[in-house]
Amino acid sequence: MLLVVLLSVTRTISIVSPMRHIKHYANKMLYGVVGFATLLLSIDIVFLSVQWVKVHYYKYMSLCEVAAVQSESEELSQKYSAPTHIYSILIQLELIIPCVVVFASFLTSTVFLMKSRPIQYTHINSKNEKKFRRVSITIALYTALFLVCYLPCFLLQVLYFVS
């Protein structure tokens, strides 16, 4: 999922400002990747190591389930209630944020691709621009396909997040 985010964001940057090289944005993107990876790792390490949640894998159903620690004691149930809700919200944000970023970059690149730009004067630049446009349209189509395939998961997570 992170690769799709990086691909769509870098392509959007190159479409919006074609004269700037992507290396100007490399540090900012690196901070974003490191920050997101840190968020993912810290959530999983903290919550799973403290055992506020447990993971179950059902081999025959090919299903992985993350469940809150169940306790018959009311005191323990209240103790684990807040961390379980926090973990649930953070997991949903892990799945919602990349999709929103991909969708925003998809819309931006689509709007910029729909605008007609003047063709450059030289034949070489014209060929490069046509090639760049074809590549950009192909990546936009892959991004749209990702969004369509990811739509059920996104809607489910939004529903969980809202309720």
Distance between CA atoms of residues 124 and 159, nearest Å: 50
What is the pLDDT of the chain when averaged over all its residues? Answer: 76
Residue 37 has pLDDT above 50, yes or no: yes
> What residues contact residue 101 under an 8 Å CB cut-off, 6+ apart?
5, 8, 9
Confidence of residue 134 (pLDDT cuts 50, 70, 90): confident
Distance between CA atoms of residues 39 and 134, nearest Å: 35
The burial of 65, by beta-carbon neighbours within 10 Å (0-12 exposed, 13-18 middle, 19 or more buried), is given as exposed
H/E element, 57: strand 53-58
Contact (CB, 8 A) for 112 and 15: yes
Helix (H, G, I), strand (E, B) or coil at 9: helix
Model's pTM, two decimal places?
A: 0.69
Residue 119 has pLDDT above 60, yes or no: no
Which tokens go with 15?
């479409």
